[in-house]
Structure 1
């Protein structure tokens, strides 16, 4: 099991796939400076804690895959600030609560995966 690395000096990086590892802990400030990132895949690791999108700091994101981890808490309302999202996969976590009412504002969204969580609402 390992800690998630900090990415410095990769200001032009567009795709980051760290899926299927044994990375653990929480996702914190590792993404500062990755302003061109369009695709982030952290699926099938051992991340825990809440989904904190302010740590991503990148509104250009088109694909966000966080499935099969131990993320918990609500889906943050700030997810609707990522207007370029075409893929959002939060399946297989411990996400609870309701789906943000403005999720429909993501007009580019083509694939939404929320399965295997503990959500208590319908899709708005």
Structure 2
């Protein structure tokens, strides 16, 4: 069995703490898939939860283009402030909300990156 490095242990701890802070909202939230249900071979995946205190969106950059445009049409016309909630210390993810078109531009520069966003 593999042993986690101290860095990996810290990220797992942060992830569990993040989950514990919002898990009570899950039964009252509705899932949504901005890119549709995932399939083998997809370059990007996204799964969101609407409702609760905040909306949450997990975004996976599996491979390929570093930028993805997530359609969030039901929020079109709204002023959204989208932030990276996990991991807290993120300097790589770039986010741009296009209010007019209801789309979130997400840039994750490395394959295999995952971020949880809140808005």
Using the size of structure 1 for normalisation, the TM-score is 0.27
Using the size of structure 2 for normalisation, the TM-score is 0.28
Larger Rg computed on CA atoms:
2
Higher helix share: 2
Higher strand share: 2
The structure, 1 or 2, with the larger RCO (C-alpha pairs under 8 Å, 6+ apart) is 2
